Amino acid sequence: MELIKEIIIENPPTFYEIYKKKKSIEAGEPVYDKYYLTANLFFNNGVSYFVISKIVEDCKLFLFEHMKGIPKLEKMRLEIEYHADKHIDLDNKAYFWKKLFLDILKSPTKRQEANYAKKGKRIISTFTIYDDTTQYIDDIRETFKLGGKFMIFRIYGRVTSTQQELKL
């Protein structure tokens, strides 16, 4: 498979802050809730569905800006290379971004489209692959490199043929 697109995101966000309407007692300063952008966010029972949805939607919009121009693919593989100045829990960090990245690449189902329309939300998708199953993705790699602060997504694949068959 050939390299379709390489996306480099410098200084990727590591947390998300949500403003609380109350002020700090000591200084009268605004108070924020801080949520780290890791896989733990999806499994934390203490975080409400609405907060997670807001974080996921905003992070998808952030990623989507970097993902424009990816063609439709028959088959693909994905490499995620995470660079940081200190050692990290790679599977935890990479899972969060991988999940959102693949959700953006896949085409939404009719049911998802109906839910988006019902809620008045826009669909955040590049419509690159039909689904994020092994039928369309057969390899995902996550690597870590010490130094710097950036993520690299490399998409390899076979572009979907749009040529119609000749009738001879």
Residue 161 reports pLDDT greater than 90: no
The amino acid that residue 146 corresponds to is L
Alpha-carbon gap, residue 129 to 150, rounded angstroms: 25
Burial of 36 (0-12, 13-18, 19+ CB in 10 A): middle
Q: Compute the distance between CA of residue 138 and CA of residue 23 in angstroms, rounded to an integer.
A: 49
Question: Residue 156 corresponds to which tokens in the numbers above?
Answer: 């390899």
Give kind and range of the element (H or E) at residue 30: strand 30-36
Q: In terms of pLDDT, which residue wins out, 42 or 73?
A: 73
* Mean pLDDT within 7-19: 93
Polymer length in residues for the chain:
168
Q: Write phi, then psi, for 100 (nearest 5 degrees).
A: -70, -40
pLDDT at 157 over 90: yes
Place of tokens 């050939």: 2
Question: Taking 90 as the threshold, does the pLDDT of residue 125 lie above it?
Answer: yes
Provide Rg for the chain, Cα atoms: 19
Two structure tokens written together for 142: 């996550």
* Helical (H) or strand (E) element with 77: strand 73-84
Averaged pLDDT of the chain: 89
Residue 83 has pLDDT above 90, yes or no: yes
pLDDT digits (tens, 9 = 90+) for 47-80: 888 899 999 999 999 999 999 999 999 999 999 9
What DSSP character marks residue 65? Answer: T
Q: How confident is the model at residue 4 (pLDDT cuts 50, 70, 90)?
A: very high
Eight-class DSSP state of 13: -
pLDDT band (50, 70, 90) for residue 10 = very high
Q: Are 90 and 142 in contact (CB under 8 A)?
A: yes
Helices (H), 8-119: 40-43, 49-64, 90-105, 110-119
At residue 21, does pLDDT exceed 70? no
